[in-house]
Structure 1
Amino acid sequence: MDATNPLVTRASELRPTRIRSSRRVSDRLLRVFCLVATVLGAVVLGSILLMLIVEGVRGFSLTLFTEATPGPGSEGGGIANAILGSLVLTGIGILVATPVGLMAGTYLAEYGRGSKLAEVIRFLNDILLSAPSILIGLFVYTLMVRPMGTYSGWAGGVALAIIATPVIVRTTEDMMRLVPGTLREAGAALGAPPSKVIRSVTWRAASAGIVTGIILALARIAGETAPLLFTALNNNSWFGANLMGGVANLPVMIYQFALSPYPNWQALAWAGALLITMTILALSIVARFVIKPQRAR
């Protein structure tokens, strides 16, 4: 075909124009789809949050933080025992998970680089990260609750620790890997052993990221319900010093009270849900402020 033909020349000029036009249409369609999806997600989440705020504020009162949860059919009451129980269980979980997660993450980042043992640990850690929390509750139930013959706060704390540990391990490893190798080399050049370099240089440089991981793990376990159903269960009274028997906690209290036919229990469930949501939001905000200095370096 003759390239000097006017028709051929005209077709070759129109082809890039059509391609550009189709690309513009595709770009606009994708932009509209993303905008619609974003608005839809924001509307749904906003509706849930608005309903939670409206219903939760109705149940807020001074007695909410001073009285224990009421019995069936009783009027009044609060969730003070559930708040205290949640603090204790979460505290046990994070106190157990933090040293284990910190040491495991340090091993993966510093001592186990490239080793097959480290690969196995990372693989198992990834499984724990994605494992359903109810399975962890069943595991701890079989390991502790059945042999002990009773529910306990210790079993609940162990279940929460198992959930929090992989989060801390992953965050610790990632943050320590971001520390420049020149800092380690400088410490080694001064004659410091690897343990001293890790404590004085690597941990200090990655401290903001490690603390952020601990806070995120704390937020992760603060609202867990399924593992506590099999371990700590619940109680309408204050728990003992040995944490044996059912221990009151907010997640299980919300689950049980929300399904009850008593209006005052339902109001307490909404108030407890709002309290947990505000706590997790506050922890997430703190984590963002903590990690900012790390990103600025």
Structure 2
Amino acid sequence: MSHATTTGLRDSVPGTIPDSGGKTAGLSSRRLPRWAPLGFAAVAVLLGVGISSIAGWHSRIQWGLLSALFFLAISYVATTVVENKRQAKDRLATSVVWVCFLVAVVPLASLLWTTVSRGAERLDGYFLTHSMAGVLGPEASGGVYHALIGTLEQVGIATVISAPLGLLTAVYLVEYGKGALAKAVTFFVDVMTGIPSIVAGLFILSIMLILEIEPSGLMGALALTILMLPVVVRSTEEMLKLVPNELREASLALGIPKWRTILKVVLPTAIGGITTGVMLAIARIAGETAPIMLLVFGSQLINTNPFDGAQSSLPFYIYEQYKVGEVASYDRAWAAALVLIAFVMILNLVARGIARWKAPR
């Protein structure tokens, strides 16, 4: 048998692959164990903390960054020595992804943990069912009931206005808009997406001064509507673009009108993404303080009528209690922040449940 034939048979054996140097590596090639990344991470943390302590660095951020650099270097070098450069590059890319993931998650987890640990100390039934009427700053009593009512009403009004307007605008841009009007609408939606909340508040405030309208929860809701509308439009537009054109064409081929195709085919297909976009918009406006300060003024009393008189809200309540500067007010601020986070999380869970319920089978 010739040398070429022998080489061909050897290369055709299952389980043998050529490495980056042209050599053949079989199933018996050296491989790092699955627990190797955890070992690399442990060694990197020990080196990072040890060197930081010797250097006198007391910042945990410095410790983390140095440990991340050691982790990337150890992963690349060890994989190169044990396996090959090709696998080392692959593991380096994977390690970079994990490091970036941790860099993004650690601050969020730290914020959530701090809010839960500080807010849970004050959060109870009394706090949720009482207002700050007649309560002084240093006193440990008082609650968030009036601010919770204000947030629910103001965000609810803004959602009732923004959701249908944003949905219809997105449908026009995706299904009908082709000319200069659609381009103009898209441009202004992009501009409004980055508008500061204080600008929206000043716009509504100017209208209030011209028409001599008194502060109320409705005025704050109108400012929140301006902030919420572009987020709803943009997210809904992207979800509608993801619906395959084949579904539209199949419906139209059966003689179904376009408006009914949009209503019965396009929107149900994208309902999950649309609902998520609306929830993101609600989360965007639920924490706004500047428009409430300008247009609602805040109140220590319970006001269930958003169309008459000053109201409070959760973000304004947090700002107000932090400004007092007392230990009791700080506790109330942390508890209100926890209530606000729980409010947004509950809305997201409800939205996901509705989206799964209404999604096409």
TM-score (norm 2): 0.68
Aligned AA for 2:289?
A: T
Is 1:198 aligned with 2:259? no
Aligned partner of 2:111 in structure 1 is 48
Larger fraction in helix: 1
- 1:106-136 Cα deviation digits (max 9, x unpaired): 1001110x32211111111111112222211
- Distance 1:159-1:205 versus aligned 2 partners, 3 A rule: same
CA distance in 2, matches of 1:26, 1:182: 41
Gaps of 5+ in 1: 1-15
Structure 2 match to 1:170: 234
> Does residue 281 of structure 2 align to residue 217 of structure 1?
yes
Report the secondary structure of 1:141's partner residue.
helix
Q: 1:76-99, CA deviations, whole angstroms, 9 ceiling, x for partnerless residues?
A: 111111101110000000000011
Change (3 A) 1:203 1:28: closer
Contact 2:271–2:359 under 8 Å retained in 1: no
Correspondence 1:82 to 2:147: yes
Q: Supply the distance in 1 between the matched residues of 2:280 and 2:164 (Cα, whole angstroms).
A: 15
Q: Secondary structure at the match of 1:259?
A: helix
Paired with 1:143 and 1:78, the residues of 2 have a C-alpha distance of 33
**Distance in 2 between residues matched to 1:295 and 1:197, nearest whole Å:** 16
**Equivalent residue letter for 1:81:** H
Instruction: Find 1:69's aligned residue among 132, 150, 174.
Output: 132
The answer for the alignment partner of 1:103 in structure 2 is 168
2:329 equivalent to 1:282: no
Q: Distance in 2 between matches of 1:37 and 1:187?
A: 44
Q: Which residue number corresponds to residue 330 of structure 2?
A: 266
Aligned to 2:290: 226
- Offset at 1:272? 0.6
The 3 A distance-change label for structure 1 pair 81 and 22 is: same
Of residues 143, 152, 158, the one that matches 1:93 is: 158
CA contact (8 A) 1:254 1:270 kept: yes
Between stretches 154-163 and 238-247, larger displacement belongs to 238-247
Percent identity, aligned pairs only, is 34
Number of equivalent positions:
280
Aligned-residue offset at 1:31: 5.9
- Over residues 138-159 of structure 1, what are the superposed CA-to-partner deviations in whole Å (9 max), with x where a residue is unaligned? 2122123563353211111111
Distance 2:140 2:353 in 1: 42
Residues in 2 aligned to 1:107 and 1:207: alpha-carbon distance in whole angstroms = 16
Q: 1:240 to 1:215 in 2, by over 3 A?
A: closer
Q: How far 1:234 sits from its partner (Å)?
A: 0.8
Distance 1:28 1:188 in 2: 49
Structure 2: gaps spanning 5 or more residues? 1-20, 23-79
Rg comparison, structure with higher value:
2
Deviation at 1:289, TM superposition (A): 5.8
Deviation, 1:188, is: 2.7
CA contact (8 A) 2:271 2:355 kept: no
State the Cα RMSD in Å: 2.9
Amino acid at match of 2:169: A
